[in-house]
Amino acid sequence: MSPPSKKDALRDAIFLEALRAQRIKWRYAALSKKIAAYTEGGLPPSPEEFKTWTEDGKELERIRAMQLAALKAKQDKS
C-alpha cells in the first residue's frame, strides 16, 4: 500500500478540521441553551462548562475569521 499523496493528506486534514468545527458548534449551542436556561431560573453551568463555552466562542470566532478571509481571497482572485 502506497502512502497517501499530499493532496489526499490535505483533503483528510480539511475533513477532520470541518468535523472538529462542527463538534464545537454543537457543544457551544448546547451550552448556550444551558446558560440561557440559567438566566431564566434553571441550574447554573459548572465552571468547567462555562470555561468550555467561552473557549468554544473564541474558537468559533477564529474559524469565522478564517472562512471570511478565504472567501475574500477567492473573490479578489476572480
Residue 50 near residue 32 (C-beta atoms within 8 A): no
pTM, two decimals, is: 0.77
The domain ranges of the chain are 18-77
From first to last of its 78 residues, the chain has per-residue pLDDT tens of 567 799 999 999 999 999 999 999 999 999 999 999 999 999 999 999 999 999 999 999 999 999 999 999 989 988
Distance CA 4, CA 61 (A): 32
The pLDDT, as a whole number, for residue 78 is 80
Name the one residue in this structure whose C-alpha cell is 483533503. 11
The pLDDT, as a whole number, for residue 1 is 59
